[in-house]
Amino acid sequence: MMWDWMMLAGAGLALVAGCLVPNRWLPANMPNDKLLHFAAFAGLTLLALRLAHDRNDILLCLGGLLVAGWIIECLQKLIPDRNFSWPDIAANAAGIAAAALCSAAYGAICAVI
């Protein structure tokens, strides 16, 4: 259980660090920014859901990640060459939703097997 928390904290810190660096520090040939947002938040959601024990925990994880994504976007306005982006928030939310649906489907399949 402690390793799960450590993995979540490490992934969360890496996500925040990656989102809050100035553009000039990023590689010039970056892949699609929205795809990176989607994948990062989907991965973080899967890690967070490993720690959820009941419905309230799940809702707290999902809501917390949505708020975290919004806060990161707000903070990007303070970083040189970065800006607030609603499409980034949409990509974050889509990654969270996709991971939650995959996790729910996996749980349903495991319950049947």
pLDDT digits (tens), the chain, 113 positions: 677 788 888 888 888 888 888 878 777 777 788 999 999 999 999 999 988 888 998 999 999 999 999 999 999 999 988 889 999 999 999 999 999 999 999 888 888 87
pTM: 0.86
Count of other CB atoms within 10 angstroms of residue 39: 16
Alpha-carbon distance of 46 to 98, in angstroms, equals 10
Structure tokens at 74: 């707000």
Alpha-carbon distance of 25 to 35, in angstroms, equals 19
Contacts of 63 (CB under 8 A, 6+ apart): none
- Answer positive or negative: Cα dihedral of 47, 6, 9, 27: negative
